[in-house]
Copies of this chain bind each other. A is one copy, B any other.
């Protein structure tokens, strides 16, 4: 039985996260339905809510309660998890003076505008002073939060608790060593896909309907979620009972919306799979961005881009899109697995994608450490890009200005995308072991056994285990790039015939 002190503590935790959940709805509304002129009030509303949440967290009374429940040392893992994670968050937040937090918020608002213009004009110099200032502020954050080895760790910890740059680097090095020859082999392979198939016209309404059918089959609960249209797809919401997916459409490139919505639904299934009884407490919240991304990438790539998946879905696809009536399973499967080094991360295939991430990880780590000067970022980007992907970006808009993250002061986030890809392959291997019939199920259009397995092994645990621990518990192995490379090799070798 949790103590009365703990109950009081947890009520405050719920209020803190409930306030944050309001931000989720307001941000979703901003991207979906808010009239354009509403932006100024929306910014003020979001700042107000963020303030409410922050004040409730750094309230000295909350600090005292936290100390009390720590002294009680309740061994119940549920209690222990909630106390441990709140201590982590409290320690981060309480070290940041309100003036610094507010200056960062103000700087980001200006920086995002400058970045938008800089990208439009492919003019890095216009963005550079903002990036400089944000880096300086984020270095201050890192110093205040503290770190053992390098300041980057303090920042990455917000997104991937427990992860450290040195550890990520060692994983990435192994990954890169295996990935570069694989990309090279694919590039020079004798067989190549018929990509024109992907550019056949598919009306937006039919794409939306088809995507929804797939997501329904994934057992996403539409009584507790929905899909809307936005410029960039995302997954947001307020609770496991209210999960909002968004998507976008290109009538001459079906894969964007199709794999886009499977990706977001993967995130959404994770959110819906968290236990409602622990809502708005760490035991009912996702582990890390890396684990979150493992769910979206598994559904998008390991399921959605698998041959088995299309054994079932090719016929419905042809029925939904008459322009694809002549597509064969082999041609379609090959086309949706086209690998080709390209400039834009969000459009990259699953083989080259991680190279885009490693580049960003390298550069932003040097930037935070002060080893890479801002003025040298474009040249460093292009040099590294050539080295990793064999291409030279034609301009900074398609180079170092392409992502919004840095303009929002988000450093240490990118590596979680690549970690997600690796975790996804490891989890999928474990799922195949646990469900020997998995591939046949997918080929019959039965996706719910996989969802149940994910729910049982990953979703329902909330933050009970840190990412690394969770991977070890579920897969029996520490995080590594091996499953991922094995998966790619197993898939792409026969496809491309190298």
Chain A residues near B (Cβ < 8 Å): 15, 18-19, 21-22, 25-26, 29, 32-38, 40-42, 44-45, 48-49, 52, 221-226, 228, 238-239, 241-243, 279
Contact = CB atoms under 8 A, between A and B. Distances in A.
Contacts of A26: 22, 25
Contacts of A29: 25, 29
Contacts of A45: 18, 21-22, 25, 238
A442 B25 CA distance: 41
Contact of A48 (B18, B34, B223, B243): B18
B48 A242 contact: no
B38 A239 contact: yes
Nearest to A51: B15
A278 to B, nearest CB: 13
From A33, A223, A279, name the one whose CB has the most chain B CB atoms within 10 angstroms. Answer: A33
Given A29-B25, A238-B45, A224 B38 contact: yes
Contact of A41 (B33, B44, B238): B238
How many copies of the polypeptide does the oligomer hold?
2
A98 B52 CA distance: 19
A223 to B, nearest CB: 5
Nearest to A40: B241
A241 B35 contact: yes
A18 B51 CA distance: 13
B33 A48 contact: no
From A29, A35, A243, name the one whose CB has the most chain B CB atoms within 10 angstroms. Answer: A35
Contacts of A226: 33, 35
A243 B36 CA distance: 11
Contacts of A221: 37
30 contacts: A15-B48, A21-B45, A22-B22, A22-B45, A22-B48, A22-B49, A25-B26, A25-B45, A32-B33, A33-B33, A34-B242, A35-B222, A35-B225, A35-B226, A35-B242, A35-B243, A36-B223, A36-B224, A37-B223, A37-B224, A38-B239, A38-B242, A40-B239, A40-B241, A41-B238, A41-B239, A41-B279, A42-B238, A42-B242, A52-B52
A243 B19 CA distance: 23
Given A22-B22, A35-B226, A41-B279, 15 more contacts: A18-B44, A18-B48, A19-B48, A25-B26, A25-B29, A29-B29, A33-B33, A33-B226, A35-B225, A35-B242, A36-B223, A36-B224, A37-B241, A37-B242, A41-B241
